[in-house]
Amino acid sequence: MLISILVSAGILLFSNLVVFFPWYMTLVIETFNLSQVASCDNYIKESYYEDVLYKLESTPIFSNSASKISITATNAYGRTAIGYDDENRYADDPDYNKPYLQRGEEVTITISADFIPRITLWGEDIEGHIPVSFTLKPVGLKHYKDLPFDY
């Protein structure tokens, strides 16, 4: 009897593992896509940020943990690397207010979410919350004329 219960619980845990793979790969792919955008502009524009966040929150595989999804982007100095869509709005700002840095500097992109494995045993739902994140660190490729080159 105990063996059949353990085998049943093992099968249910394995079925959660089968769901985890596409869930995690979606996280990886979206982080990769954002890192490509960040490497082109040296920061993430608000429209890209909002589009990816909306896409993840509306994906059925993330429906259980939609409120736990977060996207962070920081530049090499630890400041946020999410900014306006129009980079010309930063023309008169001091360098420390700009979300982007000069070419060759790192931008750290992280997407975090909670994976919620769920098992139903004897009519009772048992669930857990496993925080998972994926990080990429692309290097900015764009040269900005409003920043000093040795910045």
Average pLDDT score over the chain: 85
Q: What is the pLDDT of residue 31?
A: 95
What residues does each domain of the chain span? Answer: 2-136
Q: What is the pLDDT of residue 150?
A: 65
Portion of the chain with pLDDT greater than 70, in percent: 97
The distance from CA 100 to its chain's CA centroid, rounded to whole angstroms, is 19
Nearest to 67 by CA among 78, 52, 58, 57: 57
Q: Please check the confidence at residue 92 and state whether its pLDDT lies above 60.
A: yes
Q: What DSSP assignment string belongs to 96-120?
A: GG-S---TT-BEEEEEEEEE--EEE
Q: Please check the confidence at residue 73 and state whether its pLDDT lies above 80.
A: yes
Q: What is the pLDDT of residue 108?
A: 94
In the chain, helix, strand, coil percent, each to 5?
45, 25, 30
Q: Please check the confidence at residue 110 and state whether its pLDDT lies above 90.
A: yes
Q: Please check the confidence at residue 53 and state whether its pLDDT lies above 90.
A: yes
And the tokens for 43?
């920061």
Q: Which of the given ranges, 11-20, 27-36, 88-97, has the highest pLDDT on average? A: 27-36
Q: Please check the confidence at residue 147 and state whether its pLDDT lies above 60.
A: yes
Rounded Cα distance, 65 and 94, in Å: 38
User: What number is the average pLDDT over the span 43-60?
Assistant: 92
Q: What is the pLDDT of residue 34?
A: 94
Q: Please check the confidence at residue 151 and state whether its pLDDT lies above 60.
A: no
And the tokens for 60?
């059925």
